Amino acid sequence: MGLEIENVGVRFGSFEALRSVNLTVDDGAFVTLLGPSGCGKTTLLNVIAGFLKPTSGTVRMDGMDISDTRPEARDTAMCFQSYALFPHLSVRENVAFGPRQKKVPKNEIVQRVSKLLDQMGLDIHAEKLPNALSGGQQQRVALARALAVAPGIVLFDEPLSNLDAKLRDQVRTEIRALQREVGFTAVYVTHDQAEALAMSDEVFLLNKGVVEQSGAPREIYFRPRTSFVADFIGAANLHVGKIKDGAMATPFGPLGVRGADALNKTVCWRPEVVRLGGDLQGAVTASAFQGGHLDLFVSAGDQTVRLQVPGSHEFDVGDEVSFGLDPENVVVLADEGHVDA
């Protein structure tokens, strides 16, 4: 089921949680709403679910305006961060809750619930109360409960944030596999950029109540439009300066840039696009061996950049290192930006 958000704004008193958000989600797509806390991503999810009425704008599902539709009548199902299971109902009753409300015939409910419980590996826990389950199992019950109503769109509100790292990876893969298998449209809220990059067809990066940039994970990562995006996702090296004749002067040397001449521009490149040997030069201030690769912090003048080189190389602090970049990999950002380093 497709989803369109048009100029949606949400205001709490004088605080604008969302300022004119626009986004389109295709049927069957897995999209993430990514952003730092307070960026409005959960607010947007609550608007889609119908828990929150937007101050302005429209929400459409499959072309139908549902801005005034109550949550119980929307074809969405939410997976809550707190799981929000009914503590007095068994796992089976929790999963059966939705279809029962929607007046699905009894024998079909039984079938549907059993199938979901099997699929999630919850069949042996079916008669237990949620309290008796681990966090990962409760998370699965919450997902099964949401899927039991066969929703057009499943909304995930940071569903993995209460799980430990290993389990998080596992459940993340499970969710994605299940989404492909069942074919529901998923809107997934997270503040974890790795999660967003790994799971999504499309990432919407929110900042201060607006969509700062949207696109495929690779596009967001390698082609950030603003310094906020570059900074928020992964590690980025930023330089501010004047672009002239396809180069920007930096303390490391002239940096080749594909861009028109301009006075005050920010450019950005990722640590892993660097190659050793080239016309840029600096001194190693720190190095961290990561197994497969080596993180190098290289300084020149008052700036430090981060390089990622194969783990087979060895550098000591103080070593001079020369490196080069393909101008193709240096992105000129749209805003004036800032350099923290």
Partner 1 sequence: MKRRHISTILAIAVSFALFFWLAIPFAMAVMWSMVDPGHPWSYPDILPPKLSFERWRVVWETTSLPTAMLNSYTLAPVAGICTLLLAAPTAYAFGREEFRGKAIAQVVILIPLVLPGFVTAVFFASLLLSLGIFEKYPAVLLGHIVLYMPYAVRILSVSFSQVQDDVVNAARDLGASPFEVFRAAYFPVLKPGIFAAFLIVFVLSIEEFAIAFIVGVPDFTTIPTILFSYLGFEFVRTNAAVVALILVVPNVILMLVLERLLQSANPASVSGKG
Binding site for partner 1 (CB under 8 A): 49-51, 70-74, 76-78, 80-89, 97-98, 101-102, 129-131, 133-138, 145-146, 149, 162
Q: Which is nearer to partner 1, 131 or 312 (CB)?
A: 131
Q: At 212, is the secondary structure helix, strand, or coil?
A: strand
- Find the shortest distance in angstroms from Cβ 116 to partner 1: 14
Q: Which is nearer to partner 1, 76 or 226 (CB)?
A: 76
Looking at the Cβ atoms of 134 and 285, the one nearer to partner 1 is 134
Task: In angstroms, give the least distance from the CB of 72 to partner 1.
Answer: 5
Nearer to partner 1 among residue 135 and residue 278 (C-beta):
135
DSSP codes joined into one string, 288-319? EE-SSEEEEEEEETTEEEEEEEETT----TT-
The H or E element spanning position 147 is helix 135-147
Tokens found for residue 297: 């912090």
Which distant-in-sequence residues (6+ apart) come within 8 Å of 330 by Cβ? 255, 256, 257, 258, 267, 268, 269
**Mind giving me the DSSP string for 162-198?**
TS-HHHHHHHHHHHHHHHHHH--EEEEEES-HHHHHH
Taken in order 172, 215, 54, 6, is the CA torsion positive or negative? negative
Question: Closest separation between CB of residue 59 and partner 1, Å?
Answer: 15
- How many beta carbons lie within 10 A of that of residue 304, not counting itself? 18
Task: Indicate the burial class of 233 (C-beta count within 10 angstroms; 0-12, 13-18, 19 or more).
Answer: buried
Q: How far is the CB of 120 from partner 1 (least distance, A)?
A: 15
Dist. CA 61–CA 22, nearest whole Å = 14
Name which of 37 and 312 has its Cβ closer to partner 1: 37
Q: Which CB, 186 or 325, lies closer to partner 1?
A: 186
Comparison of 154 and 298: residue with beta carbon closer to partner 1 = 154
Nearest approach in angstroms of CB 155 to partner 1 is 8
Task: In angstroms, give the least distance from the CB of 70 to partner 1.
Answer: 8
Identify the CA nearest to 140 among candidates 183, 91, 97: 91
CB of 136 to partner 1, least distance (A): 8
Bridging pattern class, strands 30-34 and 202-207: parallel
